[in-house]
Amino acid sequence: MIKVGGLLPFTMIDFPGKLSAVIFCQGCLLNCPYCHNPELQSPATKTQVTWEEVVDLLKSRQNLLDGVVLSGGEPLIQKELPQAIREIKSLGYQVALHTSGALPDALAAVLPDISWIGLDVKGAFSKYHEASGTKPEFKIGEAVQKSLDMILKSGIPFEARTTTDPRVVTKEDIWEMASYLSQKGVQTYALQEYRPCENGRMPEPPAAAITAFYQDAAFLKKLESLFESFIVRRA
């Protein structure tokens, strides 16, 4: 069964409108400079939470929780994920997925069983490898665009969101991303303020650079005009 890097028994914010538990899946194929969970990156890391413990918790929370969020890391990196989702749903839970969109084929395999998606859009597609910490030949931008098209076609409710790390995205990048997402038909887009994490991947940016995105009211108003729902999440 899937390898679990961590478990949050209760959340009200990770699955809109649902009281949920969060399963943090071990393993990720990206190397984002603003990653707050670097311990989840390696699939080989020995973890402390077993799948059996997860199932026991979910059984004990039946009729108390509505859903289960699969987060990470990148949940889709694990081949056993479809089986895990079926087991979660058999306990009466709805399932939400937080994903980078980097694995569209794996996404296609689970999409029919997902009730809500949080899609992380890392940066401008013209330089997506920089924001995701991947090599250009990986062509991650193309993979994410394919995943986005798939999600839109499915009709599953979802949110696209971008972490505004000033080391990897500019206002121009955000406008480029937002314009593209709006034209594709995305209805909900969120900006998430970067939180210092000191994971050693890059020197930390100055505080003024972190908050600069949110000091420009005119810029935020322009973004808001593109979407049915525009969300700003400050640290």
Q: With 80 as the cut, is the pLDDT of residue 224 above it?
A: yes
Percent of the chain with pLDDT over 70: 99
State mean pLDDT over 158-164.
Answer: 97
Which segments of 12-82 are extended strands (E)?
20-25, 67-71
Mean pLDDT, residues 1-16 taken together: 95
Quickly tell me which residue has 């650079």 as its tokens: 209
What is the DSSP-derived secondary structure letter of residue 37?
A: -
Q: Which residues contact 142 (CB under 8 A, 6 or more apart)?
A: none
Mean pLDDT of the chain: 94
Cis ω before 200 (30° cut-off from 0):
no
| pLDDT at 199 > cutoff 70 | no
* Domain ranges for the chain: 4-233
Give yes or no for a contact between 186 and 160, defined as CB atoms under 8 angstroms apart. yes
Q: Is the pLDDT of residue 43 over 90?
A: no
**Residue 188, CA atoms < 13 Å, CB-side half-sphere:** 14
pLDDT of residue 34: 84
* CA-to-CA dists, residue 132 to 1, 21, 50, 158, angstroms: 27, 27, 29, 21
Q: Are 165 and 122 in contact (CB under 8 A)?
A: no
Q: Would you say residue 118 has pLDDT above 90?
A: yes
Decide: 207 and 194 in contact? Cβ < 8 Å. Answer: no
Using DSSP, state whether 43 is helix, strand or coil. Answer: coil
Torsion-angle region of 204 (φ positive above 0: left; ψ -120 to 50: alpha; else: beta): beta
Residue 133 has pLDDT above 90, yes or no: no
- Give residues with Cβ within 8 angstroms of 227, minimum separation 6: 178, 181, 182, 186, 187, 188, 189
Model pLDDT, residue 84: 98
Burial of residue 219 (CB within 10 Å: 0-12, 13-18, 19+) is middle
Whether the pLDDT of residue 187 is over 90: the answer is yes
In the predicted model, what is the mean pLDDT of residues 19-39? Answer: 91
pLDDT of residue 200: 61
Q: Residue 77 pLDDT > 80, yes or no?
A: yes
Residue with tokens 């973004």: 223
Q: Per residue in 98-113, pLDDT tens?
A: 999 999 999 999 999 9
More confident: 38 or 159 = 159
Domain 4-233: state its class.
alpha beta
Rounded Cα–Cα distance for residues 62 and 92 (Å): 7
